[in-house]
Structure 1
Amino acid sequence: MRVMVLVKATVDSEKGFVPSPESMVAMEAMGRFNDELRAAGILRDAGGLKPSSYGKRIAFDGASRTVIDGPFAATSELVAGYWIWEVKDMAEAVAWVKRCPNPMPGPSEIEIRPFYERADWQPDSGKA
């Protein structure tokens, strides 16, 4: 089962990365966690995202396309980073996230979302 593990943005992450002794300690802890994921064969990809002020959104309405410049409101709904993992089930993904160092200096959230797999698109074949 492939899952995307989303690190939700915070007011601090939207300010951008600022090197400090504390942030370097946090980065080292996250690096060790990523090493554990690699060693377990779970990690497929990972990355941190720049603040939404660097981003763009494209709004679709029929044939119309409108480009919206960041920054974007509702910081708690934004994504600051991600992993793509291959796990046996959602319980394994939750167990790994519980081991993760806090990705932000203060309160934060991580969301786990499964990818659609080929089997999800197959006709139901009559199963009840």
Structure 2
Amino acid sequence: MSDIKFTDSHEWLRLSDDGSATVGITGFAQEQLGDIVFVQLPKVGERFAAGDEAATIESVKAAGEIKIPVSGTVVEVNAALEDEPSRVNDAPLTDGWFFRVKLDDAGELDALMNEVAYQQLVGELA
């Protein structure tokens, strides 16, 4: 999992060879939310600054937003989540991804946490 970066708001980002990155929420986040019942995804072509709300998620416990970890333009969304939002619960780091983004500045990745730092953060929250 060393190719994954994390945010303190529990999003993950996996960089691809083509310079795009896949974004989702962590297992910790989905456990806190409970059963995911609705996901509203961004539109392909939408541009966001790092930290902007890019998607909305609702569960049986709460509603929240998915923040984009880096600046960029959405190049693909996981349309399967519209019909099967439970994919986020079943596989948050694989099939439960939300969108892919073309990065504006790969240097922004340096501000994100690696897995060790993220696990330490989660440990402090437990």
> Which structure is higher in helix share?
1
Calculate the TM-score normalised by the size of structure 2.
0.29
Higher relative contact order (CA 8 A, sep 6+): 1
Calculate the TM-score normalised by the size of structure 1.
0.29
